Amino acid sequence: MDEKLISGKAIGKEIREEIKEKVAELKKEGCTPGLAVILVGDNQASHTYVRNKQKSSGEVGMKSELVELPSTVTEDELLGHVAKLNADDSIHGILVQLPLPNHIDENRIILAIDPAKDVDGFHPVNVGKMMIGQQTFLSCTPYGIMKLLERKNIPVRGKHAVIVGRSNIVGKPMGQLLLQQDATVTYCHSKTEDLPAITKQADILVVAIGRTKFITAEHVKDGAVVIDVGMNRDENGKLCGDVDFDAVVEKASAITPVPGGVGPMTITMLLENTLQSAEQTLAESQGQK
Ligand code: GUN
């Protein structure tokens, strides 16, 4: 079974080692990549994600700055913090952890982030660039999944990729990135009729719906590559994905576990985007000299 596992834990570690070396080189040139994270309120999952992001950025030698705000913060106050970070030359990446409290318009906040520092790849300018295949910050989870496929030498060209889930953060950009690599892409979602009939056609099946063990052996073709983006708790409180791993692993040719699959790649690609932003800033400042 082990040879079927796509370990984001191992591949993420490998990439973070590469990032660490590049950060050290940048530091020699007087540029320390800086990542700022804005965390609003006391959502426990968000606090855990942010703690991990900060820990990982420190481990590769980046500067990380946390702006922690109460859930009562106003939209204008939050916009003020974003503006300050936009203007701060020591910050190359800005991330506003989602979800935000209901009284704040997420779209307005994302729009306020300088697209050149939008290391989440959420700004409409960067989403647009991604859509037309221009170089930009790619949304970290789909970007991480593309890296997993690449490092495991899993062919994409001409394959039928089925995406289950159509979120702006994962499902939609995932399909676009696979399309750019010449996959034939089908999107499925909660209103899709006869889901198993479609998922069974997938050579590559990406599942991002947030429903515990929803995808069973009945949904999967023999030999499919299965990527599980889910991060759920089962009835015993154990971390598990959207895919019933024990059943599906029997049919899949390769599969990501939860935990240790896609999760570690999301953070890794955030660091990759921050590094890319710092490199770009340094190149521009050297060009101006
Ligand atoms: N909340 C859940 N995932 C993410 C993410 O990738 N970025 C941000 N900013 N918030 C999130």
Q: Where are the domains of the chain?
A: 30-115, 140-263
Q: What is the pLDDT of residue 175?
A: 98
State the closest ligand 1 atom to the C-alpha of 141, by its place in the atom list counted from 1.
Answer: 6
**Mutational test site, ligand 1, from 117, 169, 231, 273, max ligand atoms within 8 Å of CB:** 169
Q: Is 276 a catalytic residue?
A: no
Residue 110, ligand 1, Cβ within 6 A: no
Q: What is the pLDDT of residue 289?
A: 62
Residue 96, ligand 1, Cβ within 6 A: yes
State the closest ligand 1 atom to the C-alpha of 46, by its place in the atom list counted from 1.
Answer: 1
> 140-263: which CATH number, 3.40.50.720, 3.60.21.70, 3.40.50.620, 1.20.1090.10?
3.40.50.720
Which CATH number is associated with domain 30-115?
3.40.50.10860
State the closest ligand 1 atom to the C-alpha of 95, by its place in the atom list counted from 1.
Answer: 9
> What number is the average pLDDT over the span 114-123?
98
- Reported confidence tier of residue 2, pLDDT bands at 50, 70, 90: confident
**Mutational test site, ligand 1, from 43, 67, 97, max ligand atoms within 8 Å of CB:** 97
Percent of the chain with pLDDT over 90: 97
189 pLDDT above the threshold of 90: yes
Output the CA 95–ligand 1 centroid distance in Å. 8
Output the CA 194–ligand 1 centroid distance in Å. 30
Catalytic residue among 54, 117, 120, 242: 120
Q: Is 135 a catalytic residue?
A: no
- What is the rounded CA–CA span in Å between residue 255 and residue 206? 10
> What number is the average pLDDT over the span 177-196?
98
> What number is the average pLDDT over the span 79-84?
98
- For residue range 191-200, what is the model confidence (pLDDT) as tens digits? 999 999 999 9
**Mutational test site, ligand 1, from 38, 43, 44, 49, max ligand atoms within 8 Å of CB:** 49
- Reported confidence tier of residue 148, pLDDT bands at 50, 70, 90: very high
Q: What is the pLDDT of residue 242?
A: 98
State the closest ligand 1 atom to the C-alpha of 270, by its place in the atom list counted from 1.
Answer: 6
> What number is the average pLDDT over the span 14-25?
98
Annotate the chain with three-state secondary structure.
CHHHECCHHHHHHHHHHHHHHHHHHHHHCCCCCEEEEEEECCCHHHHHHHHHHHHHHHHCCCEEEEEEECCCCCHHHHHHHHHHHHCCCCCCEEEECCCCCCCCCHHHHHHHCCHHHCCCCCCHHHHHHHHCCCCCCCCHHHHHHHHHHHHCCCCCCCCEEEEECCCCCCHHHHHHHHHHCCCEEEEECCCCCCHHHHHCCCCEEEECCCCCCCECHHHCCCCCEEEECCCEECCCCCEECCECHHHHCCCCCEECCCCCCCHHHHHHHHHHHHHHHHHHHHHHHHHHC
Q: Is 251 a catalytic residue?
A: no
Percent of the chain with pLDDT over 70: 99
Output the CA 218–ligand 1 centroid distance in Å. 31
